[in-house]
Each structure stands twice: as structure tokens, then as C-alpha cells.
Structure 1
Amino acid sequence: MNDMSALHAVSATPATHAGLDLARIRAEFPILRQRIHGKPLVYLDNAASVQKPKAVIDAISACYSGYYANIHRGVHLLSERSTLAYEGAREKVRAFLNAASTQEIIFTRNATESINLVASSFGGSVVKAGDEIVITGMEHHSNIVPWQMLCQRTGATLKVVPFTDAGELILEEYERFLSSGRVKIVAVVHLSNALGTLNPVKAMIDSAHARGIPVLVDGAQSVPHLTVDVRELDCDFYAFSAHKIYGPSGVGVLYGKQALLEAMPPYQGGGDMISLVTFEKTEYADLPNKFEAGTPSIADVIGLGAALDWLNAIGLNAVAAHEHELLEYATAQLQDIPGLRIIGTARDKAALASFTLQGVHPHDIGTILDRDGVAIRAGHHCAQPVMQHYGVPATARASFAVYNTRDEVDALVKALYKVKELFA
């Protein structure tokens, strides 16, 4: 069996109920064709960053080779073409999230910067000494540290919603926190990168809004796996990164309700976020430019637009169904391995399986799997409080994308049995 037939052996089996042509999808990812240490690449580190389809690579290349120029400021043709493509990508993001206006879509470097923007600008305007900020115990560091920094600056207090050993939030505690009368903002992860838990953010938003409390949702892990409608959720802010949704690194998105964004001061100062500058005063540009200081990552934003086109053509419902089937299959297989403990068993869960193996450090698991061509993540996943909850220093994590197959799950399980043999 040659390299490609080994990688695409799943195509000989029936497609999942989602009806995806997995062989065709996999063929669109050039990086998946290679061998690692002589073995076909099995890429299961998608929660960290997914691979890029040729459509995205080609869109970025076309920009740089065909029409790249700085945007907004130029009157020449290349600048106009770049501006049109850049702002076209903003409209694609607006439609993808079902935001009301492109003025509600801010481009940043990543989800981390998006959260920092809200914590600094919005949080710095409304949070005072004695106030409270509510997050959860399963947050990524990117949705912990900015709020800690805000608390240190203002004298506010961080309140943390605990979760069960299954990895489900204790919502009674959330309600108790909201009832204090001191909460000025809630920041909650939509889909946990360490546990796979899909949190009930709609209910959490509704409960907060009943008390007049705005909510930020960290959607870095959720947007590649499920349909997100910010108007249906009624969230006040939503943050995600392009590199987790088949786009390039270096681009993030912040959705914010227009009225809130208009009331917020700029996060950074510089070019393109102004309408008038004198040495006496500065007048800021309208949204979204007010929050986009300096030359942006033009080609990469265009690449994000191409990624959304590519994903929309497949259909998020089909992606979600395929990944759910993979997760169920992987969970059943992993549970049969003696000494393996799955970390995070929430009823509503998506896209990833974190685990430990008795007597083996997760970093050793990851290193040995790599020799078999299987790429997973090993570590604390930028969620150290989650690791502390379970009393482990780290976990191994296999995470799935639309191009993954049952054969790849089998390769993971086979390699894990090899780990057990080596440490027996």
C-alpha cells in the first residue's frame, strides 16, 4: 500500500452519516500527504491548530503574487483590489456569525488579543474596585489572565464557577455569583480545549442578561465544529482565531454589539483608527476601524475569508456530525485500553479526547506516538487550573477535524498499545 492509499484507506469504507467524501476532503490538504518517521502522518492536534486546505493557501498566494498593497489609504488599483478583498472577508465573517453589521466585526491577531481588547477597553471602562468578574474553572489561560490583570488594576474580584469531575459546570454556583449584584461582566468558554465540554452558553447568557450583565464568549474551539449565531446567542462579545478554523495564523476576530463597541475607547492608537489628528487632539474613526490600528495582516484576513468559503461549502452540520461519530468511536476504543483514564466525560462534548495512561507521563506518550507518525498534544493545554482539578500535571489530547478518519483513530489506539508495551 503506498502513502496515499494508506492515508485514504477510509475511502473504501462507507462515509459517515454526514455523507462526506473524506478522500476528496483529505486530498485538499497538501500537508497530509507526507510521512513522519517513515509512517503516514496522522494529525490529531487540531485543537491547537488545524491544517490548511489548498483553497486557503492559494488565496494567500494569489494576494501576494497578484494584487497585494496596503488597504484603505491608496487610490491606485492594487490598493483598491486589496481593500475590496479584505473588506469582503469581513462580510464573510459577519455572515458566518450572523452579526447584524460588518461594523461589529473587528480583526485582531488572535482570540487572545480579542479577549484582551475587551478586558482592557470595555472592562477598563466599567469595572471598579469592589466589582466582580465571573469566569469558569475550565477557561484557557487567555480567558483567565486578562481578567486577573484587570482585577489587579481596578481592585475587582475574580469569581470562578467550579465544575464537576465529569467536566460540567455547576450552574447553581454560577447563579449564586450572578445574584451578588456586583458582577460587571461574565467571560465563559464555549467549548473547552482541555475537556471538550460544550457549555450551555445560551442559558448562561440569558441568566446574566436578566441581571443586566454583559457576556463575552471565548469561541476559539467552537467555531470550527458547530454553527454559531451571535444574534441567537445574544452574546455581547464573541472571540475566535482563524488558525483553528482552517485559516492562517496571525488573525483573530472579535464580534461585539455595535452599541458597546461605539461606547468603548480604542485599544491601541496609530494609523487607520483615526479620522483627525492634531497635536492638540485626536478624533477616532468609526467602527470597525477604531479598533484596528496600523497595517493589518491583509493577506491572512483574505485567507480567513477563503477558509470560511471552503468550510461553508462542506457545511458545518456535516462537519459536526462526522466529528461526533469520530469522537464516539475514539472514546469507545480508548476506554478499552487498560490503565487509560479519559479526562472530561461531559454529556455535551465535542471534537477531542484528553486522557492519561497509568505509569506514563503524557509527554512520553506524545513522543512515542510521534515515532509512529501520530501527532497529538501533550501538556497542560494552557489550562493549568483544569489539570489541578484532576490532580494531574498534564494530559495527552487527541483532537479531531473534518479530514480525520476512523483509520486514524485505529492508528492512535495501536500506537497507545505500543506505549503500554514499552512501559510494561
Structure 2
Amino acid sequence: MDVNAIKQQFPILNQEVNGHPLVYLDSSATSQKPLSVIEAVEAYYKENNSNVHRGVHTLGTRATDQYEGSREKVRSFINADSTKEIIFTRGTTTSINIVASSYARMNVGPGDEIVITQMEHHSNLIPWQQVAKATGASLVYLPLQEDGTITIEDAKKTITGQTKIVAMAHVSNVLGTINPIKEIAAIAHQHDAIMVVDGAQGAPHMKVDVEDLDCDFYAFSGHKMCGPTGIGVLYGKQHLLENMEPIEFGGEMIDFVNLYDSTWKELPWKFEGGTPIIAGAIGLGAAIDFLEDIGHQEIVDHENELAAYALKQMRTIDGLSIYGPEQRAGLVTFNLDDVHPHDTATVLDAEGIAVRAGHHCAQPLMKWLNVSATARASFYLYNSKEDVDRLVEGLLKTKEYFGNVFE
């Protein structure tokens, strides 16, 4: 994979920050956008701007064709059976909340259990807390091993006849742990429970086949996979979605409206009330084209190589703690001894290196790690080993700077 050629397709990366060439290592928070995606959104607004599904005029037809064409691209991208199973949303958070507010509240009650893990992003934790409070169900946590992984043995013990929902990240946004979704889904189904997957860190970085995983719901965001902000996807098995009630009501999601009652459109539109995120969906379609042109396996291999290289190089730094398993997705979460991660990130930024610092919307996991916050470097297809070397140099400067301060 020609990283330099790929990087040239991302205009934002060709700049200096604080007098240094930008090294962007925060793709787990949001990825950068290639020119093809930017141009696709711009072209929609310049040439085809119109609402969808409503007008018979030429612009409306073009916009509708592009919007629904992107839905088909998403269907193919994750190997869903039908475009009826692809709901466009504002992002992963909205997608999970639809499942929690519609499916869960209809199918969960007192005595039932919802199984999650301590590694979850708040978007895949708080909705289930609210479901439990509203329904009388209980949250049950699947144990984590010392390296931040889960075992099938623990899953078999934790998921029982009382379990109605298992909700889990495909990839941890802090640890980089890649969870065995297919195996966990099989265990859940043995107990007639459903499997909900937070794919925010999965879909951008690996081939996702929802048919093979046999998950019941899979949620992800466009902005983490070279697409625009404000667009996401909820995949759901058709028979489940058909039996769910929408949670937003208004225009475009209705079939017939009477004075005292209304009926809903068929899937997927009954979950897409109001004017949808048209430009975002078109941009997401362009992002999928971009990623598929490069190839899923090429992206996986590149990120694995970067993560392994980063672990090797960062372990040469005395006083650096690294969190998560050896086999991981393309990110490294770490702390320098006696240096707050916000200070680490500030010094790195002065060197033109962008990393994330904080609790990463995963406060229970921070408590499990026995830290208040961490720094995180996350890699994507436009990063190189030279970027990792810059990170290591920046961390050594950070360590030297604060060592001098404390002397």
C-alpha cells in the first residue's frame, strides 16, 4: 500500500501545525476526509441539492437516486441481506439509542438481564443503564481479563436464560481489543438473546460481514471511516426492525395520517423521519468507494504492522505504561509516569502531533485500569512508520521536559 500516495488524497494532512508537519494520530475520534468525499458532498450541493422521496422533478430524482444508491453501497459494504436492513442515522450513538428505546423497551422487563462489558464506550453503556432503570431489568458485566480481553468461557457463564440482550463493542476504542463477536452472538442466540454490536471502531478498520457475524444489530458512524460527520448506520435484521416502533415521528416516515391515528412507511424509511442526512449519506457512499478501492485486507495489514511497530518502539521509553492486549487494532493507549495525559498531548501538539487525551468516553474502563485518564495514538490508512517515529521522539521530549520541570 502506497501510504504517501494515499496521504496526498487528504488535503488537511498537507499542512504544518505549530511549525511542524502535521502527524494526525486521532483517527479513532474522527478520521480525515479524502478529496473524493469532499468533492462528492460539494457536487451534491452544487448540482443536485433537493429533498429526496418527495419531488418528481429532475433534481429531486437525482438526489433520491444518489441517497438510495449510498444505502445500497452500505448494504454491500457490510454484506446485509437487504437495503431494508440499512437505516441512516446521525451516528453510532443514535443507532444504539434506537435499539435501546424501541426494541429493548418492548422486549425487556423485570428479572431480565442485559449483558455488557466494562470496556464499552458511553454510547453503548448509558442507553442500557436507562433501559434497566425504565424496565426493571439488570445490567450484568462480562468480566475482563488482565490484558483487557474477554474469554468465551466467561461469556458462557455470564450469558444465561435470563439474558435478553448482549451489547458489546466490536473493537475497544481504548484498549484496541478485538472482541469475538461471532462466537458471542452464537452463545447469545442459544439463550434466545439478541446481539447488539457497537461497530464504531470496527467498520472503518476491518471487513464486516453481518451475515457471517450473525449479529442482530450493528451500529457505526461515517466520520470514523473517511465519511462526513453527522451520518451513521444502524443495521438490523429485517424481522426485528419490522416489529419495532419508530422513536421519531413526523414527515416522511408515515404512510397514512388520520386525525387520531397514523401508520408507518415500510422499512427502512419508517425510522428516517423528516428530511434525512442527504449530503452525509452521499459522502458516506463516496467514502465506501474510497475504502473499497484500497481494499479491506490492505488496510488491516497496514494497521496491524503500524500497531506492532508502535508497540515495539514505544516500549523502549522508560516510564511509559501501555494498556491493552498484544493483538490489537491500530491504536495504542498509554501514559507517561508522573505526567498527566493532557500535558502529554499538549507537548505533542507543540510538535505537530495530534493525539487524544482524556477518559475517551469510557469512564468505567478508566476505573478498571486504575487511572483517571490516558493518552491515545490511533492509526489509519494515511499513517506511516515515520509518523510513529515522530510520536516516539515527541514522547521523549515530553519526558525530558517534565523531568526538568520536576528536578
- TM-score by length of structure 2 reads 0.98
- Corresponding residue to 2:191 among 201, 208, 211: 211
Give the match's secondary structure for 2:43: helix
What is residue 33 of structure 2 aligned with on the other side?
Answer: 52
Partner Cα distance (2:184, 2:191) in 1: 11
**Equivalences for 1:16-31 in 2 at 5 Å?**
20-31=1-12
- The one-letter code matched in structure 1 to 2:58 is L
Contact 2:341 2:373 in 1 (8 A): yes
Q: 1:158 aligned to 2:139?
A: yes
Q: 1:391 aligned to 2:370?
A: yes
Kindly state the Cα deviation for residue 170 of structure 1 after the two structures are TM-superposed. 4.0
Partner Cα distance (1:204, 1:258) in 2: 21
- The one-letter code matched in structure 2 to 1:145 is I
Contact 1:133 1:158 in 2 (8 A): yes
Partner Cα distance (1:184, 1:74) in 2: 43
Moved over 6 A (4+): none
Cα displacement string for residues 357-402 of structure 1 (whole angstroms, at most 9, x for unaligned residues) = 1010000000000000000000110011111011100111000000
Contact 2:152 2:183 in 1 (8 A): no
Kindly state the Cα deviation for residue 38 of structure 1 after the two structures are TM-superposed. 0.6
- The one-letter code matched in structure 1 to 2:328 is K
Kindly state the Cα deviation for residue 176 of structure 1 after the two structures are TM-superposed. 1.7
What is residue 198 of structure 1 aligned with on the other side?
Answer: 178
- Corresponding residue to 1:408 among 387, 392, 395: 387
Partner Cα distance (1:373, 1:307) in 2: 26
Partner Cα distance (1:239, 1:279) in 2: 35
Partner Cα distance (1:380, 1:165) in 2: 19
Give the match's secondary structure for 2:310: helix
- The one-letter code matched in structure 2 to 1:110 is G
Q: 1:372 aligned to 2:363?
A: no
Contact 1:161 1:170 in 2 (8 A): no
Give the match's secondary structure for 2:147: coil
**Pair 136,384 (structure 1): closer, same or farther in 2 beyond 3 Å:** same
**Equivalences for 1:107-256 in 2 at 5 Å?**
107-179=88-160, 181-256=161-236
What is residue 14 of structure 1 aligned with on the other side?
Answer: none
- The one-letter code matched in structure 1 to 2:3 is L
Contact 1:340 1:355 in 2 (8 A): yes
Kindly state the Cα deviation for residue 347 of structure 1 after the two structures are TM-superposed. 4.2
Contact 1:104 1:257 in 2 (8 A): yes
Cα displacement string for residues 177-202 of structure 1 (whole angstroms, at most 9, x for unaligned residues) = 212x2111110110000100001111
Contact 1:137 1:160 in 2 (8 A): yes
Give the match's secondary structure for 1:240: strand
Contact 1:70 1:79 in 2 (8 A): yes
Contact 1:199 1:348 in 2 (8 A): no
- Corresponding residue to 1:317 among 297, 303, 317: 297
Give the match's secondary structure for 1:52: coil
Kindly state the Cα deviation for residue 164 of structure 1 after the two structures are TM-superposed. 1.7
Partner Cα distance (2:326, 2:203) in 1: 19
Partner Cα distance (1:422, 1:306) in 2: 44
- Corresponding residue to 1:269 among 249, 254, 267: 249
Cα displacement string for residues 136-183 of structure 1 (whole angstroms, at most 9, x for unaligned residues) = 11100000000000111111100111212211114433222212x211
Q: 1:423 aligned to 2:377?
A: no
Give the match's secondary structure for 1:244: coil
Give the match's secondary structure for 1:87: helix
- Corresponding residue to 2:338 among 356, 359, 376: 359
**Equivalences for 1:264-343 in 2 at 5 Å?**
264-343=244-323
Contact 1:165 1:390 in 2 (8 A): no
- The one-letter code matched in structure 2 to 1:104 is E
Structure 2: state its 5+ residue gaps. none
| RMSD over equivalenced CA pairs, Å | 0.8
- The one-letter code matched in structure 1 to 2:186 is D
Give the match's secondary structure for 1:243: coil
Q: 1:91 aligned to 2:75?
A: no
- The one-letter code matched in structure 1 to 2:51 is N
Contact 2:169 2:197 in 1 (8 A): yes
Contact 1:354 1:397 in 2 (8 A): yes
Partner Cα distance (1:68, 1:162) in 2: 50
- TM-score by length of structure 1 reads 0.94
